[in-house]
């Protein structure tokens, strides 16, 4: 999922999925999440940051 907004205080990021749907994602397992990052999300939690570039 693509990170749109980061709420570092609450440990959450608003992310958008491939289908355009948005949801809040737990980001406690990932260091320094920024808008524009792509995260591997499972059951509402980001497990990894991945490099995925739209071309």
Partner 1 sequence: MSMKYVDEYRDADIGQVLAGEILAAVEPGRHYKVMEVCGGHTHSIYKYGVDDLLPENVELVHGPGCPVCVIPMGRVDDGIAVAREDNVIFTCFGDMMRIPGSESTLQDAKAQGADIRMVYSPLDALRIAKSEPDRQVVFYAIGFETTAPSTALTLKRAKAEGIKNFSVMCSHVTIVPPLRALLESPDLRLDGFVGPGHVCTVVGARPFEFIPADYGKPVVVSGFEPVDILQSILMILRQIQDGRCEVENQYKRIVPYEGSTAALKVMEEVFELRAHFEWRGLGFISQSGLKLSEAYADFDTEQRYEVPHVRVADPKACQCGEVLKGVIKPWECKVFGTACTPERPIGTCMVSSEGACAAYYNYGRFAREREVV
Total of residues contacting partner 1 (CB under 8 A): 20
- Name which of 38, 18, 17, 19 is nearest 27 in CA terms: 38
Q: Any contact of residue 29 with partner 1 (CB under 8 A)?
A: yes
**Closest separation between CB of residue 28 and partner 1, Å?**
6
Q: Any contact of residue 42 with partner 1 (CB under 8 A)?
A: yes
d(CA 55, CA 32): 25
Q: Any contact of residue 26 with partner 1 (CB under 8 A)?
A: yes
The kind and range of the H/E element at 48 are strand 45-50
Q: Any contact of residue 2 with partner 1 (CB under 8 A)?
A: no
């Amino acid at each position: 999922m693509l990170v749109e907004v980061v709420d570092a205080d609450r440990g959450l990021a608003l992310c958008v999925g491939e289908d355009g749907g948005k949801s809040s994602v737990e980001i406690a397992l990932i260091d320094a999440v920024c808008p524009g990052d792509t995260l591997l999300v499972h059951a509402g939690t980001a497990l990894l940051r991945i490099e995925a570039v739209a071309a």
